[in-house]
Amino acid sequence: MKNKTVVITGGASGIGLAMVNKFATEKWKVFFIDNNQAEGGKVEKELKEKGYSVTFLNCNITQAESVKSTFEAIPGKIDTLINNAGISHIGKVENTTEADFERLFQVNVKGSFLCIQAALPKLKQDGGGSILNMASVAATIGIPDRFAYSMTKGAMLTMTLSIARDYVVDGIRCNCLSPGRVHTPFVDGFIAKTYPGQEKEMFDKLAATQPIGRMGSPEEIAELAYFISSDTGGFITGSNYNIDGGFMGLKM
């Protein structure tokens, strides 16, 4: 898999950072996109010092011209695009503002659309490649107080199926992952902000919603992402993979 190129959005932290680390250690050329310039630069510096081919690209994925110029600046072809960047929101439809709705749609849906559109010419070079989208268990099951988030992740799932169908003739595979709860800095920050003084209790409660008894790790998500995106996953397209500690299969 040496000399393969991957582009990962939202690569400066959480699941995206775990993916950057995984692909880098597997000797891929990694380009990762994020709008956090300080963290992105730090990640790039640390990994380059270890001898890995990692390049940070500062880009606002909701802006078409920014996305277009960013992808044009990537030399050569792209073998894999991973649309990992995403944001969350807590609320039912009645307490989701228009601004909330638009903010999540812009990042989670439009951002992925723009990146796919910009990457397609490079993905088509030399016979195709792979697109991996980040959906969620919320795309296919009702999660309380996650209206806008679930809406966007449902869009990611159906976007995946449409692209897989349209571009299979071009040798382009498209799949998505649907994680359950994953222990990221976002989770810690949410708990600390929403339940001050009850952090451990609430962490344990959220972890227990997975039948396996814990949250997933970003590294576990990255391992599956790598398998699907590599040549080993070459027979996989149009598929949605739950990686959720049994949430979907054991609690229905």
Cα separation, 112 vs 159, in Å, equals 9
Question: Which residue type sits at 123?
Answer: L
**Does the annotation count 52 as an active-site position?**
no
Residue with tokens 């898999």: 1
Inter-residue contact 138 to 145 (CB < 8 Å): no
- Using a 10 angstrom Cβ sphere, with 0-12 exposed, 13-18 middle and 19 or more buried, the burial of residue 73 is exposed
What are the start-end ranges of the H helices in the chain? 14-25, 37-49, 64-72, 98-104, 111-124, 147-167, 185-194, 199-207, 218-229, 247-251
Residue 166: phi and psi, rounded to 5, are -70, -30
Q: Which of 4, 102, 26, 30 is nearest to 62 (CA)?
A: 102
Cα separation, 39 vs 209, in Å, equals 31
Here the tokens at position 105 are 């749609």
Among 149, 167, 226, 241, the one annotated catalytic: 149
Q: Any idea which residues carry the catalytic annotation?
A: 149
